[in-house]
Amino acid sequence: MTEASFFAQRGANRVTPKIMQNLLHRLPMLKAEFTQIQAPKFPHLVDQLEFLADVVEDVAEGAYTDLPYSAATASAFALIYTHRLLDIIPDFVSNISFEDDSAVVRVVLALYEKDFEKYALAQHLNWKKITLKP
């Protein structure tokens, strides 16, 4: 297991149902915030974050029940991590500011790729558009 995978899974293990509910209430604001991300080196990041936000929303509301809860908590961790201003590489550091955010998001997508692909199919989303690329 890579360090990034371990980091993401460790963070996901700390996401409780209460954290999921709090995140659910903040999702509209976070979705709007994510659309403002300017990260040309990571052209897929906004779509990936929107996808993970939809996952959290659908699982937390009970609209989609075929996803392992660990995939939902990992999605929640990735959203929370990306939202934080002070993370491994602070977002105000130019040129590299979203490298860590993109890495965490892509690790989560890769860890649960088959489950997310099934979710995307069930939601009539284009999984290939989400991609695991930066």
Which tens digits make up the pLDDT trace of 52-106? 999 999 999 999 999 999 999 999 999 999 886 545 455 555 555 688 888 899 9
Q: Are 105 and 113 in contact (CB under 8 A)?
A: no
CA 63/CA 32 separation, integer angstroms: 22
CA 62/CA 60 separation, integer angstroms: 5
92: tokens are 């105000």
Query: In angstroms, how far apart are the furthest CA atoms of the chain?
Result: 40
What confidence category does residue 35 fall into, taking pLDDT thresholds of 50, 70 and 90?
Answer: very high
Which tens digits make up the pLDDT trace of 4-15? 889 899 999 999
Count of residues for the chain?
134
Q: Are 107 and 5 in contact (CB under 8 A)?
A: yes
